[in-house]
Amino acid sequence: MIPAFHAASALCLLGFLLVPSPALATTETDEAETVDELAQSEEQIVVIGVRQSYRGDFAISEIPQSIDVIDAVTLEENNLIRLNDALDLNASVARQNTLGGLWDSFAVRGFAGDENIPTGYLVNGFNGGRGFGGERDTAGIERIEVLKGPAAALLGRGEPGGTVNLVTKQARIGDTFGTFGAQFGSFDRIRSEADVNLAITDGLSARLIGYVENGDTFRDTVEEYRWGFLPSIGLAIGPDTRITYDLEKTRVEVPFDRGIVVLDGDFDTVPRNRYLGEPGDGDHIARAEGHSLRVQHDFNDRWNVLLGGSIRDTLLTGSSSDPELAVSRQPIFRDGRSLSRQRRSRVYDSRQVVVRGEVSGTFMTGPLRHRILIGADHDEFDNLQDFRRVRPPSVSSNPSEQAAYIIDILDPVYGRFPLPVPLPQNNRLDKQKSTGFFVQDQIELTNRLQVRFGARYDDFSLRTENYLTGVDSERKDDRISPQFGVVYEIADPVTFYAAYSEGFRANIGTDAAGRIFDPEISKSIEAGVKLTLMNGALTGTFTVYQLEKDNVLASDINNPGFSVAIGEARSRGVELDVNGRLPGDIHVRLSYAYVDAESRSSVLDPNFSFVIEPGDPLINIPDHSFNVQASKTFRVAGRAAKLGGGVQYVGERLGATGTDFFLPDHTLFRLFGEVELFDDVTLFGTVANLFNADWYANSYSQLWVQPGAPRTATLGFRADF
């Protein structure tokens, strides 16, 4: 592993791999187009910007929806290199169970989606988060858009709480530049990154982006190795047409880690660094390969078309030793130290194919201006899960420690017993196909009043082939999802908006008996005020909302890989997001959320007899959370410098469905800063969890609790050319 790291680092030094430069990473949060618009000299081609899919020609202030943007500068100054860490900056997003740290999982406004597959997100408008490629790295991301609220009438197949869209760095036509960076952090972590944009001809450019990272973690015996190569090629065919190709090639190697155990509510049962798996299991390996191609053509200054397609393959493989959750098989509840474990193996293989197209334009009907968006998309998702396990016997049979696969949580000795051989538990292929058509018209009734009407038609089929039982299941369904919105500019700095939307999403997979679930149906309503102050230097959004959905699923504890229906759920809350610059060149960012997310049905689990009652909170969703930070730029000995800090608070959360086990609240402080050492060379540093607080990122059970990292420091440099 170490030689491979050195070899990949050498590639970075040669310029084949990335990190963004603040001087080159421009961010625009108030425009429908991305920041890649370059006006060049008269002798060169003038290249149009890369437009956002599903957006149309709208400023964010005109959209009847709450949208928070986390730009590349914010990611860079906080040194946020994982998507889950970056999303902590928005209080409406809550961490969920990450499958031992091997996928991204989060809830927006209290709703998380299917617990048995990673949380979905968009990459440049394509569905990109449902596979098993490991936790997403932020390398190559221009900005993260948290699209909160009712958007199903355009996007389709998403959670009603919102969608995360990752806008990646694109090749810049006619420009050549580069950035190389390296950093060294706590727990012997080393990372190198590079970003090289090459102007091959006046109309053709390639941007080569990549990273490699290796090191220990705060968890005993757990090391991690990852790399990624994320190039982009841009081709301008005249002034009105652009073709963009993006490649994603990534790999993660890390042991599977269920975290710590918490007995009788004592979060000091074991130290937070104690690993309770088995090092002999080796690493889980997650890899992804994705290709996307987009064509954009402007017919004139009022009409344009976007066409695109993507293919993404992912594979997750490995074995693990996980604490047994069934009380009847778990001796730790008797002696407080003997933890029985299951041994599991996984082969999760997925492929997603997406094609889409849209036309947007502007026209007049009398005095009314219409901005219309019409499009269609087709999505195919194949999800193969070969899951195997062997469980310890019942405690009542007085099994030996070897038979129960025991580890002493107070004095762990790894490798005591031969590794049990997992037996087939679930070997299933889910094939989902869905086609959608959407239309949206936003009408300017006056200079200050706009209304939006839209609808989406979805047709889907789901087929499940169970290779163990020989039972094949199939379901087809369709639905129309409407949306309505209004935007009213009360005064130049104050805009009121309101929106209503219905959503529709197929529930992939089956229950343990092979039955396909009814699709998830949602209704969303929100209203808010958007502020633009100090000539646009400071913006803010205040929102109230309520979301409801039926046919909600939760993981079947007794049958991993399967789900159980828990009926209806509701989320309602209040949000405040503020972002911008204050006098004195002080950049501020504030996000607060109150979320009341609860079950609305009564459910009795037949295997473990836990009861979900109406009013029970949803797992891992805090009532209150906020994140605030401020930074100031200044000069030291004539050199540019920046210093900043932030605070994150996350309230108490339910830690296991149908129980009274809660994760405690926590408050984390962070510092960051940078200084220009020489021309185009910057030294930077960060300290996360400054006061070394004990905190817990998420949990699934009191025996599967993910502790958060202790104080973590990083020092690095960036060099531009």
Q: Which residue has the higher pLDDT, 553 or 186?
A: 186
Give the pLDDT score at 13.
38
The answer, yes or no, to whether residue 270 has pLDDT greater than 70, is yes
The answer, yes or no, to whether residue 686 has pLDDT greater than 90, is yes
Single-letter amino acid code for the residue at 573: G
The answer, yes or no, to whether residue 208 has pLDDT greater than 50, is yes
The answer, yes or no, to whether residue 20 has pLDDT greater than 60, is no
- Cβ-count burial 659-668 (b if 16+ within 10 Å, e if not): eebebebbeb
The answer, yes or no, to whether residue 286 has pLDDT greater than 80, is yes
Q: How confident is the model at residue 559 (pLDDT cuts 50, 70, 90)?
A: low
CA-closest candidate to residue 496, choices 445, 524, 532, 523: 532
**Rounded mean pLDDT of 399-427?**
97
CATH topology of domain 2-639+647-683+698-720: Maltoporin; Chain A (2.40.170)
Task: Give bridge partners of residue 717 from the DSSP assignment.
Answer: 182, 683
**Rounded mean pLDDT of 205-226?**
97
Give the pLDDT score at 289.
96
Q: How confident is the model at residue 57 (pLDDT cuts 50, 70, 90)?
A: confident
Average pLDDT, the chain: 88
Distance CA 389, CA 558 (A): 12
CA-closest candidate to residue 362, choices 349, 354, 371: 371
CA dihedral 608, 613, 615, 620 (to 10 degrees): 10
Distance CA 9, CA 17 (A): 9
Backbone angles phi, psi at 216, to 5 degrees: -80, 175
Task: Give bridge partners of residue 233 from the DSSP assignment.
Answer: 206, 245
The answer, yes or no, to whether residue 55 has pLDDT greater than 90, is no
Q: Which residue has the higher pLDDT, 10 or 408?
A: 408
**Rounded mean pLDDT of 578-592?**
95
Give the pLDDT score at 563.
65
How many CA atoms does the CB half-sphere of 586 hold within 13 Å? Answer: 8
The answer, yes or no, to whether residue 126 has pLDDT greater than 60, is yes
pLDDT tens per residue across span 137-179 = 999 999 999 999 866 556 656 678 888 999 999 999 999 999 9
The answer, yes or no, to whether residue 37 has pLDDT greater than 50, is no
pTM of the model: 0.90
Q: Which residue has the higher pLDDT, 301 or 190?
A: 190
The helices-and-strands tally (H runs, E runs) of the chain is 5, 37
* Structure-block tokens of residue 219: 């968890």
* H-type alpha helices, 79-193: 83-87, 152-155
CA-closest candidate to residue 89, choices 627, 631, 586, 621: 627
Q: Are 601 and 614 in contact (CB under 8 A)?
A: yes
Q: What is the DSSP letter of 702?
A: T
Backbone angles phi, psi at 678, to 5 degrees: -140, 175
Q: What is the DSSP letter of 392?
A: P
Please state the domain extents for the chain.
2-639+647-683+698-720
Q: Are 460 and 431 in contact (CB under 8 A)?
A: no
Give the pLDDT score at 521.
82
Distance CA 584, CA 572 (A): 37
Distances in whole angstroms, Cα of residue 520 to Cα of each of 430, 433, 514, 583: 17, 16, 18, 47
**Rounded mean pLDDT of 697-721?**
97
Give the pLDDT score at 131.
86
The answer, yes or no, to whether residue 103 has pLDDT greater than 60, is yes
Q: How confident is the model at residue 509 (pLDDT cuts 50, 70, 90)?
A: low
Q: How confident is the model at residue 30 (pLDDT cuts 50, 70, 90)?
A: very low
Give the pLDDT score at 388.
97
Q: How confident is the model at residue 504 (pLDDT cuts 50, 70, 90)?
A: confident
* Structure-block tokens of residue 117: 């597959």
- What is the helix (H) or strand (E) element at residue 688, kind and residue range? strand 681-688
Q: Which residue has the higher pLDDT, 686 or 504?
A: 686
Strand residue runs (E) in 445-509: 449-466, 472-491, 494-505
Contacts of 2 (CB under 8 A, 6+ apart): 214
Q: Which residue has the higher pLDDT, 6 or 109?
A: 109
The answer, yes or no, to whether residue 566 has pLDDT greater than 70, is no
Give the pLDDT score at 158.
65
Give the pLDDT score at 546.
96
Distance CA 166, CA 82 (A): 12
Give the pLDDT score at 36.
38
**Rounded mean pLDDT of 80-106?**
93
Give the pLDDT score at 160.
80
Give the pLDDT score at 3.
42
